């Protein structure tokens, strides 16, 4: 009998090749986007393992999936999974925390550089025949010598800080769980309150999970504290930032720019006011999504499936089912 798996995200030919590479002959993968409604119902009834990146794994979905043993998140944040329902249905949930760190860190700096040097904007102008060799130099900046405020000093935050220091930036950070003074001293990180960080930083990047305490953490009041020459980079979760307040701040030039990879609603709504602004760099939740990261993430995902099949807890178990 084959081990039945559902993969919920859109899967290109290249993606399916990676999935085939790390699965085994006794595994059968149903691609959710290939199925009609009857096919989806049948797949859920038979599935033992669910693999999701951002697709919502709801209570209603799990009620149809009576045989599921493991929900495997290909990423770190599990806010798209109903953990309470998983607990109640005796389903393990695992993530791949830390595995895509390098991809997210590199994307963060791609965004910072694009905003500071207006690369995304000037690319479009140049292709449209507008040669703006000198017009924007007075509003372009180097990272060197700037203050980089990092909100969330976990795996990703620390790597972002190290790379920013290599560019010559000074590091401030805010985290609900402060590092030891020894680590702060050794790494050259200076802890600040959130308000202090927002007031002082030139670059602000978000690297925290979405929790009740972090939803709308950056809203109108917080944005008003930031420098008019500052930039905001969100590669964390969309709902951490109040998008309407951010759009207003950017439209009125109270901030230099923002790069947004994660959105309150995904796919982002076409009428989102942030999409209309030239000082916004918008991407579709791809910061952690390189082939390199996918290879590592999916290797762990299928290793976890094999572990659960053998009666062993998966790597990076998020929950403790109560049933």
Question: Which of 48, 222, 237, 243 is flagged as catalytic?
Answer: 237
* Closest C-alpha among 74, 77, 94 to residue 8: 74
What residues does 317 pair with on adjacent strands? 94
Examine the residue annotation and report whether 276 is marked as an active-site residue of this protein. no
Examine the residue annotation and report whether 237 is marked as an active-site residue of this protein. yes
Question: Which of 14, 60, 186, 266 is flagged as catalytic?
Answer: 266
Residues contacting 4, CB < 8 A, separation 6+: 28, 30, 43, 46, 47, 48, 49, 67
Which structure tokens are listed for 64? Answer: 């149809």
Question: Which of 120, 148, 207, 285 is flagged as catalytic?
Answer: 285
Which structure tokens are listed for 191? Answer: 């802890």
C-alpha distances in angstroms, 256 versus 89, 112, 206, 232, 285?
Answer: 48, 11, 17, 9, 22
Compute the half-sphere exposure of residue 164: CA atoms within 13 Å on the CB side of its CA. 32
Examine the residue annotation and report whether 285 is marked as an active-site residue of this protein. yes
Residues belonging to the active site: 237, 266, 285
């Amino acid at each position: 009998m084959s081990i039945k798996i559902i993969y919920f995200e859109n899967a290109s030919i290249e993606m399916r090749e990676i999935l085939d590479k790390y699965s085994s002959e006794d595994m059968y993968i149903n691609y959710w986007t290939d199925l009609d409604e009857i096919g989806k119902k049948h797949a859920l009834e038979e599935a033992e393992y669910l693999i999701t990146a951002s697709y919502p794994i709801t209570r209603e979905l799990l009620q149809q999936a009576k045989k599921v043993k493991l929900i495997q998140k290909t990423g770190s944040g599990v806010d798209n999974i109903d953990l309470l329902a998983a607990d109640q249905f005796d389903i393990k949930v695992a993530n791949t925390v830390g595995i895509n760190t390098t991809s997210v860190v590199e994307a963060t700096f791609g965004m910072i550089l694009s905003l500071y040097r207006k690369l995304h904007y000037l690319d479009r102008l140049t292709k449209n025949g507008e040669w703006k060799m000198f017009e924007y130099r007075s509003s372009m900046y180097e990272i060197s010598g700037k203050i980089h405020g990092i909100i969330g000093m976990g795996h990703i935050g620390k790597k972002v800080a190290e790379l920013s220091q290599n560019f010559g930036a000074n590091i401030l950070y805010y985290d609900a769980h402060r590092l030891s003074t020894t680590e702060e001293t050794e790494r050259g990180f200076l802890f600040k309150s959130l308000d202090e960080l927002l007031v002082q930083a030139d670059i602000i990047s978000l690297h925290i999970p979405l929790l009740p305490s972090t939803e709308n953490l950056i809203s109108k009041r917080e944005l008003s504290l930031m420098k008019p020459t500052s930039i905001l980079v969100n590669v964390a979760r969309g709902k951490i930032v109040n998008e309407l307040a951010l759009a207003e701040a950017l439209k009125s030039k109270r901030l230099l720019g923002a790069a947004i990879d994660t959105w309150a609603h995904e796919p982002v709504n076409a009428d989102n006011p942030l999409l209309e602004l030239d000082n916004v760099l918008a991407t579709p939740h791809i910061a952690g999504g390189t082939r390199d990261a996918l290879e590592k993430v999916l290797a762990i995902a299928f290793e976890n499936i094999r572990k659960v099949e053998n009666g062993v807890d998966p790597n990076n178990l998020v929950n403790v089912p109560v049933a």
